[in-house]
Amino acid sequence: MSRDEEFTAYVRERRAHLYRAAYLLCGDEHRAEDIVQLTLSKVYAAWRRVRKADSVDAYVRRVLVNSHLDEGRRPWRRERAGEVADRPAPTGLGAEDLDELWTALRALPAGQRRVVVLRHYWGLSVEETAADLGVAVGTVKSQTAAALTNLRHALRPDNAARGGRR
């Protein structure tokens, strides 16, 4: 298979998953698409190295996280903790719970949210998360603990009833 064929096959299979992860990281569908496009253009440019990596998914995930970091650094895109974007209303069972989780997740500082998504959406270990983010294991542990404390606090019935839901 040529490079374009390999890349196209990968994109066809994994783009939706990458988009959902980007959406959880940034909380906005348009920005999620920007991050995915940026990620995939970087991955295409480096496909020769990417396809030789031990895990293509791990490589692409690191590029995605870096793209989110870069995107957040741009002045016109900088996030503030607690800034809540619109999200299509979830449907089905647990819709209210999901809405509360969404609000709580969006209220987390970007660093804590990143750790939560890597650990609990992608299912990475503390060590893998630290490697992906280029930070110390201790930093991941402390950010995970802080994030979970914040989420528990936000999801307490009394707090959830008061805040967040639009």
Partner 1 sequence: MNTSEDDVLLGDGLHRLGATATVPISAPTEDVRRGRRRVRRNRLVAAAGTVLAVGIIGVAGVALRPVVADRATDPADSPTATSTSSVRQAESVAQALPNSLNLAINLIFEREGVMAAVPDVVLRPLQATTDEAITTWSATAEQIDAGGNQELADRISRIQRSLDGMAQMRSDILDKADPQAGQMAYMAVVNDLLATSTLVPRVGDAEIDSEIEALGSMQPAFDSLLEERAVMTDALAKHEQPGAVQAEPLSKEGLVSLAAAEATWRRSLADFYTATSERQRKTLDEITYNTATDGAIGVPAHRAVNQILSTGSLDRVTMTPEEYTASWTELIRRLQELFVAAENEIIDDLAALDG
Instruction: List residues binding partner 1 (CB under 8 A).
Output: 2-4, 7-8, 11-12, 15-16, 19-21, 23-24, 29, 32-33, 37-38, 40-50, 52, 59, 62-63, 66-67, 69-70, 73-74, 87-88, 90, 94, 97-98, 101-102, 105, 116-117, 120-121, 123, 134, 148, 151-152
Q: Which two tokens mark 23?
A: 């959406």
Smallest distance from partner 1 to CB 80, Å = 20
Least distance in Å: CB of 138 to partner 1?
19
Q: State the nearest-atom distance from the C-beta of 60 to partner 1, in Å.
A: 9
Nearer to partner 1, 67 or 143 (CB): 67
Residue (52 or 162) nearer to partner 1, CB: 52
Rounded alpha-carbon distances, angstroms, from residue 96 to 7, 21, 103, 155: 39, 21, 11, 11
Least separation in angstroms between residue 88's CB and partner 1 is 6
Q: Helical H runs in 27-136? A: 29-45, 47-50, 56-73, 95-107, 110-116, 126-133
As measured in angstroms, the least distance from the Cβ of 22 to partner 1 is: 9
Phi (first) and psi of residue 17, to 5 degrees = -65, -45
Cβ proximity to partner 1: between 37 and 139 the closer is 37
∠ CA(70), CA(52), CA(131), 5° rounding? Answer: 45
153: exposed, middle or buried (Cβ count in 10 Å: 0-12, 13-18, 19+): exposed
Q: Report d(CA 52, CA 69) in Å as an integer.
A: 25
C-beta of 121 vs 138, nearer to partner 1: 121
Q: Looking at the chain, how many residues does it have?
A: 166
Q: Which is nearer to partner 1, 77 or 138 (CB)?
A: 77
